Amino acid sequence: MAHQQIRFTVILKILSGLAVLSLLSACATVGAAPVFVVSQQPLVEETPTIVLPTPMPTRPPYVPGTLVDYTAQTGDTLPALASHFNTTESEIRAANPIIPEQVTTLPAGLPMKIPIYYQLFWGSPYHILPDSQFANGPAAIGFDVIEYVEASSGWFKNHTDYLGGRNRRGGEIIEYVSTLYSVNPRLLLAILEYQTGAVSEEEPRVDISRYPLGHEDMYHLGVGRQLYFAANLLNNGFYGWRTGELKEFDHLDGRLERPDPWQNAATVAIQSYFSKILDGDQYALAISSEGLEKTYRSLFGSDYVNDSDPIPGSLQQPELRLPFLPGKVWAYTGGPHTAWGEGFPLAAIDFAPPMVIGGCAPTEEVTTAVADGVVVRANSAIVTLDLDGDGDERTGWVIFYLHVDDILVNPGSVLKAGDPIGKPRPHWQTVL
């Protein structure tokens, strides 16, 4: 234990529909829509054959520096657009002098001219879902996934997995994973339905005790942990595109794909997800209007089509203080790293409180509120602090504390910046 330490982690996630600031405490070890026709061909055994439609028009090989029309999408930033269009921020600014010098997110709907430098292997321009449907944000308010699954006729409502220290059934599994990774429960349920018939079929199409979503890894056995994989991969695609870090992804057969520069983050997340588990015609079907989108519409309707993601232009982080008492000296020990899982978003910063030399040991130091807010959750070593005061973690800025011992607050507690919350818990691993 000589190399262990207690750490305090500050997490910032910019989500589709909300912004979340999180705090963790843990041990360091821790166009026209394409149409698909399915036909049967008389072989030795009747084998379903997917007849693909005429592909959507591809982008032309633009002359380098050609100015193309683009309308800013919610959450767009200049660094990300420069990455998508293979250009530079300075060239975008030169073509759009209206853009303020100091700008974070661009206002959605802003008409722009962007100098484009063509690249090979651009993917489909078809938009699958709007960004508002990606995160467990405002668009998820009012949707009770547990009630929805219980009312369904599929096998999933009676399925049980052991997650987060207890058995969870059907919709509880979706709700739990959705909360951990902040992915819309509708999206997770649609993926499970598309791949396994979870909501509509009495018997699963695949072995649900193994790898029902196609990710073959011994640490992701069963439905719940396969959903961990799906949510993590979706986040990597979504935030990778929004930051400009994701520029391309490989398919199972080694084929390279670069997302279409005009794409939205939710669609890129779905494309990159399916590229890891489906190939060829199956991949093309999944990302078309007859794939996951059709499943999503059949489950939840299409009222979401004109939704807008409420991330404003020039988004600014609220003023936050350090998460410990004045006069105390804590150590910055790591980050930024992802908030939950691996990869994106890079959202966490770690702090270690003063402690006796040694390993994972109890501490009398307390963590404190980084801003004024209302406590929403305070149980199982987790505290969430809602800064907009509406009591809903899916809106506005939220502070998330994980691995908190001796919790000193209750749901509904109104805190001022600097008020004590609890003690960092000596912890060897996160229970999933």
- List the structure tokens of 28: 């360091």
pLDDT score recorded for residue 402: 81
Does 294 share its domain with 241?
yes
Of 116, 147, 180, the domain-final residue: 116
Which of helix, strand or coil describes residue 182?
A: coil
With bands split at pLDDT 50, 70 and 90, how would you rate the model's confidence at 336? confident
Residues 307-320: pLDDT tens digits? Answer: 666 788 888 889 99
**Has residue 112 been placed in a domain?**
yes
**Has residue 217 been placed in a domain?**
yes
Q: In Å, what is the CA distance from 428 to each residue of 5, 10, 27, 296, 431? A: 10, 18, 6, 39, 9
- The CATH number assigned to the domain holding 322 equals 2.70.70.10
Chain Cα centroid distance, residue 143? 18
Mean pLDDT value of segment 216-220: 86
With bands split at pLDDT 50, 70 and 90, how would you rate the model's confidence at 352? confident
Of 264, 284, 306, the domain-final residue: 306
Query: pTM for this structure?
Result: 0.85
Does 276 share its domain with 359?
no
- List the structure tokens of 135: 């995160």
d(Cα 371, Cα 356) in Å, to the nearest integer?
A: 29
**Has residue 53 been placed in a domain?**
no
**Has residue 244 been placed in a domain?**
yes
Does 248 share its domain with 324?
no
d(Cα 237, Cα 259) in Å, to the nearest integer?
A: 10
Mean pLDDT value of segment 5-34: 35
Is residue 167 pLDDT above 90, yes or no?
yes
- The CATH number assigned to the domain holding 84 equals 3.10.350.10
Does 300 share its domain with 155?
yes
Q: 430 or 105: which carries more pLDDT confidence?
A: 105
Does 97 share its domain with 137?
no
**Has residue 254 been placed in a domain?**
yes
pLDDT score recorded for residue 276: 95
Of 273, 306, 339, the domain-final residue: 306
Does 164 share its domain with 262?
yes
**Has residue 43 been placed in a domain?**
no
**Number of Cβ within a 10 Å radius of residue 34:** 18
Question: Is residue 219 exposed (0-12), middle (13-18) or buried (19+ Cβ within 10 Å)?
Answer: exposed
Does 138 share its domain with 266?
yes
Mean pLDDT value of segment 142-148: 96
**Has residue 432 been placed in a domain?**
no
Does 276 share its domain with 151?
yes
pLDDT score recorded for residue 304: 78
Does 111 share its domain with 140?
no
Does 302 share its domain with 320?
no
Mean pLDDT taken over the chain: 84
CB 177 within 8 A of CB 191: no
pLDDT score recorded for residue 32: 36
**Has residue 57 been placed in a domain?**
no
**Number of Cβ within a 10 Å radius of residue 192:** 27
Residues sharing a CB contact under 8 Å with residue 301, sequence separation 6 or more, in sequence order: none
Number of residues that make up the chain: 432
CB 164 within 8 A of CB 212: no
Is residue 76 pLDDT above 80, yes or no?
yes
Q: Give the total number of structural domains in the chain.
A: 3
CB 263 within 8 A of CB 127: yes
CB 39 within 8 A of CB 45: no
Residue 337 CB-half CA count within 13 A: 13
Does 320 share its domain with 402?
yes
Does 189 share its domain with 298?
yes
Residue 292, domain extent: 131-306
With bands split at pLDDT 50, 70 and 90, how would you rate the model's confidence at 48? low
